[in-house]
Structure 1
Amino acid sequence: MIKTLSLFFLIVLQACAQNVQVTAMRELGKLPSSLKEVSGMEVAADGNLWVIEDSGNKDKIYKIDKEGKERESLKIDHAKNRDWEDLTSDMHGNLYIGDFGNNKNAREDLVIYKVNQEEFDKKEPNAKKIEFKYPQQNDFPPKKDSLYFDTEGFFHLNDHLYIFTKNRTRPYTGKTLIYRIPDKEGEYEAEFLGSLFLCGDKDHCSVTSADISPDGKTVALLSYGFVFLLTDFTVPDYTKSSIKIMDLNTDTQVESVCFENNSTLLIADEGNKHGGQRLYRLKLD
């Protein structure tokens, strides 16, 4: 049943965007029992989906179909799952694994693993390291009002990886910081591109996954219960984007989003007391 937004949430949402849409996802299937904590998802070259799990799970990527059934799994060589949080790919079919989960903002070993397309024919594909740091972070961890450096969302565009951080500040500011780094193996100081205010509710407005549409015109930022759609931007400046908010009508822990096409999102959630551990489709038009 579609839930009713409370007056509080209406006030919060209207403070950060003019356009708020209550919607419902279509369930496609239940994820395997072995995939309880899917944290990132990306469309594979064959139309299936690559997924990963976060900290405490194996150094593997999994291929599932669009009913949620597992088709194969691959251990990634030269990669360690400290906290894998999102997946993206480029136009050549190379896959990028974001090992940048940083709940306490204390990590100094942030890395994105790049798996070249030709590696997928191997039993254990080899990964190259793209290591980086945030130039604004000097303390590990910083003070409570500066806990901006957890990350769960990124995407690839034009030879760069664009990162949207997960806000854990106290008091909560509602902002995500935006960075980019080159998509090539190496060590980098991330380029700071600015910040974007999403909304002021700490339980619903922090980024848990991100993707950009195939035509490059729409960015989807997933949070707990909402999708923020960014349009009318000029790359690489996303700070002046128009923002549309979609309420997903769910109390589950939605952690993964990717574009199936320019007007359709695929979303996955983790299992919790409200249900979850499922794959969904969301039409945007």
Structure 2
Amino acid sequence: MKRLYNLSILVFAVSCSNYGQLTIISDLPSELDENSGMVLHNNSEVWMIEDNGNKDKLYRVNLKGKMLSDHKITDAKNHDWEDLAKDADGNLYIGDFGNNANERKNLRIYKIKGPLDPEDEKFRAERIEFNYPEQKKFPPKKSKRLYDTEAFFYAQDHLYIITKNRTRPFNAEALIYKVPAKKGKYKAELVGKFKACEDMNRCVVTAADISEDGSKIALLGYGRLWIFTEFELDDFSKGRLQSIDLQTNTQLEAVCFLNDSTLLLSDERSHGTGQNLYKFKIPKP
């Protein structure tokens, strides 16, 4: 009877969770209940980070949800780590640019030189520091709060940063900036803008990635995806846009390409659900 009772609880919990078009691959380790960024490693693993208030660590997890290793990042502090990116040389980039109140002046990206050796307990970081020249006040008035960030990707020796809109009233605009992918201090260059959609609960950008062949860019929101193709950098927003409703209510925070047509996604633990790794096949437009 106890086994039947427990099974009933499990079925009820799953039925109360709406994962829509996403296929659950696995749950994630307990250390990653606030995961915020992810990149693919060796086609069968992912590197992951957590956001504000968590450890200055990089985590390696396989696609079955098993924790394989964790690594202290030296010369780095998790003020608000929000996304991960990588380049073809195996360098990783941690976006420490979470800025909910739009008041930070210490925005930075940590570069960890690869290829990384999972046997090393610690990885050393270099700093890429930057600011948004268009932001004049810290914080700006509510109608100008365009400078929170949770998403970026690497392409052509640069890091492309997509802001998370926190304006009130909500105007849905996301800004696209770029900075060089090397140690230094920079004024981020504004290269584009786009409006995802009008729902403030679903239409903010929480993660990004570019496919290995460079033909697709994926932006993630809370239950939505935006896929860009047939674009030219810098302003990829002028390319062909495919907007996808994932039909889910989960708090999605990370995305990366598993291959050129399939995405891996993950979410935070929220209201008793989530903290999972998912797979999604990109439909043909």
| Common topology (TM > 0.5) | yes
Q: In the alignment, is residue 105 of structure 1 matched against residue 98 of structure 2? A: no
Q: In the alignment, is residue 277 of structure 1 matched against residue 275 of structure 2? A: yes
Counterparts of 1:181-200 in structure 2 under 5 Å? 181-200=179-198
Q: Counterpart of 1:73 in 2: which secondary structure?
A: strand
Correspondent of 1:115 among 92, 112, 115: 112
Counterparts of 1:175-254 in structure 2 under 5 Å? 175-254=173-252
- Deviation per CA, 1:170-215, whole angstroms, max 9, x where unpaired? 1111111000000000000001102111111100000000001111
Correspondent of 2:38 among 29, 36, 41: 41
Q: Counterpart of 1:76 in 2: which secondary structure?
A: strand
Alignment-derived partner of residue 27 in structure 2: 30
TM-score (norm: length of structure 2): 0.90
1:129: how far off? 0.1
In 2, Cα distance between the equivalents of 1:264 and 1:54? 25
In 2, Cα distance between the equivalents of 1:169 and 1:265? 29
User: Is contact 2:263-2:281 (8 Å) kept?
Assistant: yes
Correspondent of 1:79 among 58, 76, 79: 76
Q: Which runs of 5+ in 1 are unaligned?
A: 4-21
- Identity, % of aligned pairs? 48
1:45: how far off? 3.7
Q: Counterpart of 1:127 in 2: which secondary structure?
A: strand
TM-score (norm: length of structure 1): 0.90
In 2, Cα distance between the equivalents of 1:141 and 1:264? 38
Alignment-derived partner of residue 70 in structure 1: 67
1:46: how far off? 6.0
**CA distance change for structure 1 residues 46 and 219 in 2, over 3 Å: closer, same or farther?**
closer
**CA distance change for structure 1 residues 284 and 119 in 2, over 3 Å: closer, same or farther?**
closer
Alignment-derived partner of residue 6 in structure 2: none
In 2, Cα distance between the equivalents of 1:256 and 1:228? 13
Which structure: larger Rg?
A: 2
Alignment-derived partner of residue 165 in structure 1: 163
User: Is contact 1:181-1:189 (8 Å) kept?
Assistant: yes
Q: Which runs of 5+ in 2 are unaligned?
A: 1-13
User: Is contact 1:162-1:179 (8 Å) kept?
Assistant: yes
- Deviation per CA, 1:4-58, whole angstroms, max 9, x where unpaired? xxxxxxxxxxxxxxxxxx9611100011112100000001246310000000100
Greater Cα shift, 23-32 or 145-154:
23-32
Between Structure 1 and Structure 2, how many residues are aligned?
A: 267
1:230: how far off? 1.2
- Give the AA of the match of 1:225: G
User: Is contact 1:196-1:238 (8 Å) kept?
Assistant: no
User: Is contact 1:252-1:274 (8 Å) kept?
Assistant: no
Q: Counterpart of 2:273 in 1: which secondary structure?
A: coil
1:123: how far off? 2.1
In 1, Cα distance between the equivalents of 2:15 and 2:97? 34
Alignment-derived partner of residue 10 in structure 2: none
Greater Cα shift, 264-273 or 112-121:
112-121
Q: In the alignment, is residue 131 of structure 1 matched against residue 115 of structure 2? A: no
**CA distance change for structure 1 residues 119 and 43 in 2, over 3 Å: closer, same or farther?**
closer
Q: Counterpart of 1:126 in 2: which secondary structure?
A: strand
- Give the AA of the match of 1:40: G
- Give the AA of the match of 2:107: L
Q: Counterpart of 2:44 in 1: which secondary structure?
A: coil
In 1, Cα distance between the equivalents of 2:42 and 2:78? 23
User: Is contact 2:59-2:67 (8 Å) kept?
Assistant: yes
Give RMSD over aligned pairs: 1.8
User: Is contact 1:23-1:246 (8 Å) kept?
Assistant: no
User: Is contact 2:192-2:234 (8 Å) kept?
Assistant: no
1:163: how far off? 0.4
In 2, Cα distance between the equivalents of 1:52 and 1:115? 13
